[in-house]
A = this chain, B = another copy of it.
Amino acid sequence: MADILHRIAVKTTDIAAVYRTLVTLEGLKAWWTEDTSGEPGKAGGVIAFRFGAGGFDMQVTELVSPGLVQWKVVAGEPQWIGSVITWQLKETDGYTVILFKHQGWKEATEFMHHCSTKWAIFLMSLKDLIEKGKGAPTPRHKDR
């Protein structure tokens, strides 16, 4: 098993605003992919994230405002199915810190390496959304 782990500090004490970027369609569309639908704000709800032809369906497995969000991948890219994405938020020294985990990869494939880098890029998009008012979601983000 292999994990993708990241940490990013967003310059805001408004932890609820960061939480909203994870639990509302408006928030998710503004930093990850504009083609997002479903029920991100409801435990047990399913969110459909689409990136052109492909994408993922995630079930919301934990939702504790404003500090914890967890999703389980239930459909989409085979390597992602069954993996779990956890967001932990905490306020510290004038920042809202996000601890991000994408766990449960069966193998450390080249695609997993790619996803690790892309998650960092999208976390920066989320940071820019809060700090500058504008993220860079798919398809607007520059392809890396």
Contact = CB atoms under 8 A, between A and B. Distances in A.
Interface of A: 2-9, 99-100, 108, 110, 112-114, 116-117, 119-121, 123-124, 127, 144
A116 B108 CA distance: 15
Contact of A127 (B114, B127, B144): B144
Contact of A112 (B2, B5, B8, B116): B5
The residue in A99, A112, A144 that gathers the most chain B C-beta atoms within 10 A of its C-beta is: A144
A55 B4 CA distance: 24
Contacts of A110: 7, 99
Contact of A117 (B3, B108, B112, B120): B120
The residue in A5, A114, A121, A123 that gathers the most chain B C-beta atoms within 10 A of its C-beta is: A5
7 contacts: A4-B5, A6-B113, A6-B120, A7-B114, A116-B120, A119-B120, A124-B144
A99 B113 CA distance: 7
A108 B8 contact: no
A112 B6 CA distance: 8
B124 A6 contact: no
Considering the complex of A and B, which 10 residue pairs feature the smallest CB-CB distances, nearest first? Answer: A120-B120, A7-B113, A7-B114, A6-B117, A5-B113, A117-B120, A6-B116, A5-B116, A6-B113, A8-B117
Contacts of A8: 117, 144
